[in-house]
Amino acid sequence: MVSPMRKWMPLALAVLVSPALVQASKVPSQPASIENKVRHELLMLPYFSVFDDLSFRVDGGTVTLFGEVTRPTLKSDAENVVKRIEGVTRVNSQIEVLPLSPFDDRIRLQEYRAIFGYTPLQRYRLGAIPSIHIIVKNGHVTLRGFVSNEADRNMAYLRANSVPGVFSVTNELKVEG
């Protein structure tokens, strides 16, 4: 038979320890930097995809947005979420909205299949936002993002060049590390 003392001991310890945990959780954490908040907000945009590219620069309270997007609403959404971040006083948007074109849309899909349908490159399509971005403007393709090694960088470029109807491919992929 378990003594009454042993039966209530865990509860007594929990009551004694709980105030210490509550106090520890009240310790203020380091505030996230504006850069981290901007990065987070841009990555959380609902229509941000593999066919868009966004980047930014922070100078004090001024955030400058760069990149190309396929939807005009994505440009305005990016501007609006960054404006609401605490510490941001001004947003300078240099985001370009890519032309709406069925020709470019066809190239985007074929590029996606050529790159991410190739088994050694399939791992780069994992995650909410793939690490390789395919920017298509008037039949010209630009690859941006990060890959693990030079061989993958070159293979993505070769696969992108294999798509018919593409005028040129610019490889701006960077090797991590």
**Same domain for 76 and 39:** yes
**Same domain for 139 and 116:** yes
**Same domain for 65 and 107:** no
CATH of the domain at 71: 3.30.1340.30
**Same domain for 90 and 39:** yes
Bridge partner residues of 96 (DSSP): 68
Strand, coil or helix: 64: strand
- Nearest-10 crossing angle of helices 150-161, 102-116: 140
Bridge partner residues of 46 (DSSP): none
In three-state form (DSSP H/G/I as H, E/B as E, the rest C), the secondary structure along 154-171 is: HHHHHHHHCCCCCCEEEE
Q: Which two tokens stand for residue 131?
A: 């690490």
- Which H/E stretch holds residue 150? helix 150-161
Question: Could you give the CA distance from residue 84 to residue 4 in angstroms, rounded to a whole number?
Answer: 57
Q: Which of 48, 65, 97 is the last residue of a domain?
A: 97
**Same domain for 109 and 68:** no
Evaluate if residue 83 carries a pLDDT over 70.
yes
- Nearest-10 crossing angle of helices 72-83, 34-43: 150
Could you tell me if residue 7 is inside a domain? no
Percent of the chain with pLDDT over 90: 75
Question: Could you give the CA distance from residue 152 to residue 177 in angstroms, rounded to a whole number?
Answer: 14
Domain enclosing residue 129, as ranges: 102-175
Closest by CA position to 134, among listed 176, 98, 81: 98
Lowest mean pLDDT segment, chosen from 8-12, 41-45, 49-53, 165-169: 8-12
Q: Which of 82, 97, 112 is the last residue of a domain?
A: 97
**Same domain for 106 and 93:** no
**Same domain for 143 and 114:** yes
Report if pTM > 0.85: no
Chain-centroid distance of CA 158 in Å reads: 24
Domains contained in the chain, number: 2
Place of tokens 């993002």: 145
Q: What pLDDT does 66 receive?
A: 96
Percent of the chain with pLDDT over 70: 82
Evaluate if residue 29 carries a pLDDT over 60.
no
Q: What pLDDT does 60 receive?
A: 87
